[in-house]
Amino acid sequence: MNFIYISPNFPERYFQFVKELRARGMNVLCIGDTPYAALCPELKESATEYYWLPTLSNYEAVLNACRFFENKYGKIDYLESNNEWWLTQDARLRKDLGITTGLLPEDMQAIKAKSAMKAAFSRAGVKTMRYLLVNGPSDLEKAKKFIEEVGYPVFVKPDVGVGASDSFSIKNEEKLISFLSKELPETYIMEEYIDGSIVSFDGCCDSKSDVVFCCTDHFPVAVAITVNEGLDNFYWNTPFGLPMHDIDQVAFEKAGRAVVKSFGIKKRLFHIEFFVLNSDRPGFAKKGEFVALECNMRCPGGNTPDLMNYANSVSLHAIYADVIAYDENRQNLNHEKYYAFAVSRKNVNSYLYSHDDICKTYKNELMVSGTYPNGIREVMGDWFYYGKFKTYEEGLKFQTYVQSYK
């Protein structure tokens, strides 16, 4: 079986996907923009072959690299990056190469446009926020009528986009007029503002859209807020079965599985985000209820797959490789579970405790620490510390310790 893996070096820890696929007898043919000499040893050892390109944004160059592998190894069975940046390009490559085991260009609108996702959420019986699509000055009056219905503030972001840097709230008519004073660079979605925190349903499913592994990530402060206000970021993973302090986990898991079915996700990793309301929104939802936000057809970003591994005492990378190779999970899901916390720090801040202090104080709980790559530092922070704990309260103490200022 021939598997082309796009960008196996970013994030760097994605070499584990390559390693696990290779361990199941596949030819893992990698295309990346990091010179071979700079790859981590594990990726060099795991890849059947590595094709370097100065950039992955040149479609013809990436297609030519795929053709090279096809001519050398035969028909390509799978092509994936598990990376939001390349999902659309992945789909185009599959079509041009005749690969039928993944999303194709005609599938992308339904899974990339936030407005189009709402239909799939509704089919799953999950509430979604009211919205309006806007492009510029001609939509001003329509936007005013929408806001008369839902009230200020409203939240706007690209309807098709990656990350949170272009996401922000509009709190009054003056800001609304300013926002729509000229044609926007792309279509934006305007949604009613929800006072809540994000909890995601993350995992992997088989070819029948049945979930073979799932867990939850909890983001107490929205990523858009940490970016726009320069705040320190932290979040945690909670396995199903451990007490959750912000959501009805039985109802949440049922909804998450229904959403996967509704989207028709096949043999993929997924990251599905929901808002959990902090207060009642009359006529819409009550405090503690969850409302669908968006579905991402890949694992959560950065090193979060490792956080999932620490919390659930499994390997998400191995589960994914099992699904690709055997269409089932062959990993033991019954190991001890933990609350795994990811806590970041920024170089511009002055913290009370040093890196060495953290390593000494949490030598038994700290799983890994290091710096995020430049491409995701704006969102994630500069330094990261991942620890796992038997109780939620111990995790919060860890977060407070790491992020205490002088």
Edge-to-edge strand list for the sheet holding 49-52 = 49-52, 27-32, 2-6, 78-80
Does the pLDDT at position 164 exceed 60? no
Flag whether 114 is in a domain. no
Verify that 208 and 357 share a domain, yes or no: yes
Verify that 241 and 270 share a domain, yes or no: yes
Verify that 156 and 9 share a domain, yes or no: no
Flag whether 110 is in a domain. no
Q: What is the mean pLDDT of residues 60-74?
A: 98
Verify that 289 and 301 share a domain, yes or no: yes
- Span 71-121, pLDDT tens digits: 999 999 999 999 999 999 999 999 999 999 999 999 998 888 999 999 999
Look at residue 189 in the predicted model and tell me its pLDDT: 95
Q: Which two tokens stand for residue 181?
A: 């004073």
30 versus 168: which is more confidently predicted?
Answer: 30
Average pLDDT over all residues of the chain: 94
- Using CA atoms, how far apart are residues 380 and 232, in angstroms rounded to an integer? 8
Verify that 301 and 174 share a domain, yes or no: no
- pTM higher than 0.75: yes
Instruction: Find the CATH number of the domain harbouring 76.
Output: 3.40.50.20
Flag whether 168 is in a domain. yes
| Domain stop point among 171, 192, 213 | 192
- Span 282-299, pLDDT tens digits: 888 999 999 999 999 999
Residue 401: enclosing H or E segment and its boundaries? helix 392-402
Flag whether 321 is in a domain. yes
Residues 6+ apart with CB under 8 A from 35: 52
Verify that 301 and 373 share a domain, yes or no: yes
Domain that holds residue 249: 196-402
- The structural domain count of the chain equals 3
Flag whether 118 is in a domain. no
Look at residue 165 in the predicted model and tell me its pLDDT: 52
Verify that 186 and 201 share a domain, yes or no: no
Radius of gyration of the chain (CA): 22
Verify that 358 and 323 share a domain, yes or no: yes
Does the pLDDT at position 228 exceed 80? no
Q: How far is CA 36 from the centre of its chain?
A: 27
Does the pLDDT at position 381 exceed 80? yes
Q: What is the mean pLDDT of residues 245-266?
A: 96
Verify that 236 and 209 share a domain, yes or no: yes
Verify that 211 and 337 share a domain, yes or no: yes
Verify that 174 and 279 share a domain, yes or no: no
Instruction: Find the CATH number of the domain harbouring 153.
Output: 3.30.1490.20
- Using CA atoms, how far apart are residues 327 and 331, in angstroms rounded to an integer? 12
Instruction: Find the CATH number of the domain harbouring 293.
Output: 3.30.470.20
Verify that 394 and 285 share a domain, yes or no: yes
Flag whether 115 is in a domain. no
